[in-house]
Structure 1
Amino acid sequence: MARLSHRLIATALATASALTAGACSAGPPVRAPGRTTITFWTMPFWIGRPNNLKHLIEDFNASQSSIDVQLTVLDWQTGRETIKKAVLDGRGPDVWLANNGLELDLLTAARLAPLDTLGYTAEDLGRFRPMVKVNEYQGRLYGAPLYFDVNVLLYRKDILQQYGFPTPPTTWDELKSTAAAITGRSAAAGKKVMGWQFKGMDDHLNAINPTWESFLCQAGGTLTSPDFKASTQNTEAGRTAMTYMKSFYTDRTSATGTSALNGFVDGEVAMFSFYQSVISDIAAGNEKTKGKWAVAPMPVGPKSGCSAVGGHSLVARAGLPDPEAAGTFMRWLGSPSTSAQFMEFHGIFPYDTAKVPRETKVVVDSTYNTDPSWAAITTQFDRSTPDLLLQDRHAFQARWDAQKADVVAGVDGRTPVDQALRSIDGKVGKELNGG
């Protein structure tokens, strides 16, 4: 899931007040005469160009004679909780930005409107890629994806080539040996470069969640039992994944506390993995990174090459007086032609390109063909399944809090691996069983 911060978020937050024109997080909308007002709350997901969202809303309003959308932009640090609390309190927005996978308690409390009650037809829903299943609950879809994220391998071509590696690693064994060689040889040459960093073992602790879940998945592990009633990380797969990650720090290939992203941009980290939307941050390094890096699929683990999936969707509040108006806006903002624009920040196109209008397919195909990063991104996306996100929505907050503490402690050696995994299962299991 895209529960992340980026260097460019600071820019986005700085413009939020301009976007909202002083709007607060709650309160009655100002009704436009003769028009249905739809309140839309979001975080600034258009990385690097937050004003583009404002312009989209202006374009939609100008195209409508009976619908008026009022935009409120919230910050990434508090926005999701602000929305959730307001919705549960009955004073939330009509439409909002949600993480792919959706919030389980909003689903179980029937606070979200199924897409088929908002005017989405079977044809509309059938255009999405199969990964749309992450927004399914009890056989119905509740979220319309704007784009998907997937964990990929980011690597410095210049550094790998300098130390004799013309291609990126493709397996766990190759990743470890390549990283160890770069760390060791660079240190011996007098200018140490960390061969690898696990995102989340640094200044961005929240990132340990998609990082850990990717490696757990590759080891054949799951987050929960099939019935979602038990946490299942203290298993052979969990021990395999955490022991592997720990080995990078035990043998000093990696060092905790070093920023994966900043180190990568500065040429002090050779490789790391994260959601592909981090490409925008890497490109912002300009001359530090231009032409020096590339994207590859994740190195394949003992069981598979899967990885965590994220991204964002549009959802609507259940019980709206005019659900068709909300659906009209959602279908417009999340349409194939608009979603193609989100590929600018490397958001993965959520539609099957064989089922979209020809003019949109031309744009999408051209984007794929002009940026070599897309081949690796789409390969990785096709390796992944909805399973992790569907499991992750159960006791989500308890799991992400537990993993931030216990995975980091287990990997950096402060806590034995078995103890760290038992701790996660204990904390998450308690939540799964009603606290």
Structure 2
Amino acid sequence: MARPRRRRLLAVSLASTCAITAAACSQGGDSTAGSPGDGKATIKFWSMPFWIGQDDKLKELVDDFNTSQKDVKVELTQLEWKDGRDKVKQAIAAGEGPDVWLMNNGLELEYLKAGAIAPLDKLGYTEAETGAFLDLAKVDEYEGKLYGAPLYFDAGVMLYRTDVLEKYGYDKPPATWDELKTTASAITQESKADGSGISGWQFKGMDDHVNAINSTWESFLCQAGGSLTSPDYKKSTQNTEAGKTAMNYMRSFYQDKTSPVGTSALNGFVDGKVAMFPFFQSVIANVEAGGAKTKGKWAVAPMPKGPASGCSMVGGHSLVANSRGEDLKAAGTFMKWLASPEQSVRYMDFHAIFPYDPAKVAPAVKTLHDRKVKSNPNWTPILEQLGRNTPDLLLQDRHGWATRWEAQKASVVAGVNGQLPVDEALKSIDDEVGKALDAGR
């Protein structure tokens, strides 16, 4: 069980959720060491359905685990994406809730500072096991220890309609910011003239999925050489020359009407009315669901390189365990199974990025991984993009995360569409996030 000081810290850091369940905040956890009659340790697992497009897959995976085990049994509580994270936070703040749960890669600082998550070495992970993860697994480190077991990674990439680019004379996707702007503008103008009415480009998040502006913006900020915070995470650093370069570049697409505010990047792409857009590679599942509208008419490319680099936002999900659970070994047994190379390679079926170094897994798993990569040409640009990315953005993003994502949704959109001057939009983000950073110290 966590020390009393850590419990108090958790109650303070998650005050907004603890207030909802104030009567329970002093209660102990409800982890169960076993179930009567079967002699098994029982692990409570709460998760959103991370297998994209097949919500029933999560229960299937848990059933497979339970069938394979003699000493551990998992009870699944399946949550919805719209409020699942909040339900976990409320339960943990109340001293209740799951033994294992799903969390974004990068993890949430409140849980880490409160000691609410058990480090992997306390769950039975060896150095050899954690050493097999990709270097990007450092996004789940805190004060020198690894706290999350990555299920898979996401990386921001560019999707483009091969049929549209070919129609307007382009045999390959743009590779730089300048090429992107030139290509997108030409497609918009020429398609307007011939009556096709195609937008050459749309920034995901400037459409009907506003939350996506966070990953989009952070990718372009990174490409301009910017950062979210200072190296010590104490200062918000978006109102810089790099920030202005990134926002002015994005703004130019709307000033000259290359991109229309409000047009759905994904739906427009599926319908052939948006030629290119950026997002995590996991959106491929949605594109493929377009059937005949998209089959054989699109592809993936790395992000066009900006003035500083071709980096992009990293995402994905990890498993974490409750430090107050009564059987950390059993929790570790389940996490090792669900986030194992053998299971993670299956997640590539919904285009999730394998979180292990293929050279450090069993030969049979490596063979399957390599076969999947060879079977789909889109894996080549996805893996190229993965190689451009570092843990830096996610490690910065966990500091002031909730405030930053709300501030960016408002101010980035306002700055890009011209409602606010660029410097005011960036200053607004820094001011809001700065207060959160100060409060967190």
Superposition TM-score tier, normalisation by shorter sequence: over 0.9
Match of 2:85 in 1: 80
Q: Secondary structure at the match of 1:153?
A: strand
Match of 1:138 in 2: 143
Which sits farther off after the overlay, 325-334 or 84-93?
84-93
Of residues 83, 98, 101, the one that matches 1:96 is 101
Q: CA deviation at 1:302?
A: 0.1
Are the aligned partners of 1:229 and 1:432 in contact in 2 as well (CA < 8 Å)?
Answer: yes
**Cα distance in 2 between the residues matched to 1:313 and 1:27:** 22
Which sits farther off after the overlay, 162-171 or 45-54?
45-54
Match of 2:374 in 1: 369
Match of 2:222 in 1: 217
TM-score w.r.t. the length of structure 1 is: 0.93
Are the aligned partners of 2:348 and 2:354 in contact in 1 as well (CA < 8 Å)?
Answer: yes
**Cα distance in 2 between the residues matched to 1:302 and 1:116:** 41
Are the aligned partners of 1:88 and 1:111 in contact in 2 as well (CA < 8 Å)?
Answer: no
TM-score w.r.t. the length of structure 2 is: 0.92
How many residues end up aligned between the 2 structures? Answer: 410
Q: Deviations over 1:292-331 (max 9, x none)?
A: 0000000000000000000000000003221110000000
**Cα distance in 2 between the residues matched to 1:351 and 1:66:** 27
Match of 1:20 in 2: none
**Cα distance in 1 between the residues matched to 2:63 and 2:45:** 13
Q: Secondary structure at the match of 2:156?
A: strand
Q: CA deviation at 1:49?
A: 1.5
Q: Secondary structure at the match of 2:184?
A: helix
After superposition, residues 5-404 of structure 1 pair within 5 angstroms as 31-33=35-37, 34-404=39-409
Unaligned runs of 5+ in 1: 1-25
**Counterpart code for 1:304:** S
Q: Deviations over 1:346-391 (max 9, x none)?
A: 1000000111001100100000001001000000010000000000
**Cα distance in 1 between the residues matched to 2:93 and 2:165:** 50
Q: CA deviation at 1:191?
A: 2.0
Q: Deviations over 1:219-253 (max 9, x none)?
A: 00000001100000000000000000000000000
**Cα distance in 2 between the residues matched to 1:430 and 1:422:** 12
**Cα distance in 2 between the residues matched to 1:367 and 1:35:** 36
**Cα distance in 2 between the residues matched to 1:191 and 1:206:** 29
Where has structure 1 moved over 4 Å in runs of 4 or more? 26-30
**Counterpart code for 1:411:** V
**Cα distance in 2 between the residues matched to 1:60 and 1:384:** 33
Q: Deviations over 1:172-228 (max 9, x none)?
A: 000000000000000011121000000000000000000000000000000000110
**Cα distance in 1 between the residues matched to 2:54 and 2:411:** 36
**Counterpart code for 2:393:** L
Match of 1:409 in 2: 414
Q: CA deviation at 1:332?
A: 0.5
Are the aligned partners of 1:88 and 1:106 in contact in 2 as well (CA < 8 Å)?
Answer: no
Q: CA deviation at 1:84?
A: 1.5
**Cα distance in 2 between the residues matched to 1:371 and 1:81:** 37
**Counterpart code for 1:285:** G
**Counterpart code for 2:155:** V
**Cα distance in 2 between the residues matched to 1:28 and 1:294:** 46
Which sits farther off after the overlay, 276-285 or 52-61?
52-61
Match of 1:11 in 2: none
Q: CA deviation at 1:288?
A: 0.1
Q: Does 1:425 align with 2:426?
A: no
The RMSD of aligned alpha carbons is 1.2
Q: CA deviation at 1:111?
A: 0.2
Q: CA deviation at 1:85?
A: 1.8
Are the aligned partners of 2:204 and 2:216 in contact in 1 as well (CA < 8 Å)?
Answer: yes
**Counterpart code for 2:409:** K
Task: Give aligned-pair identity as a percent.
Answer: 62
Q: Secondary structure at the match of 2:128?
A: helix
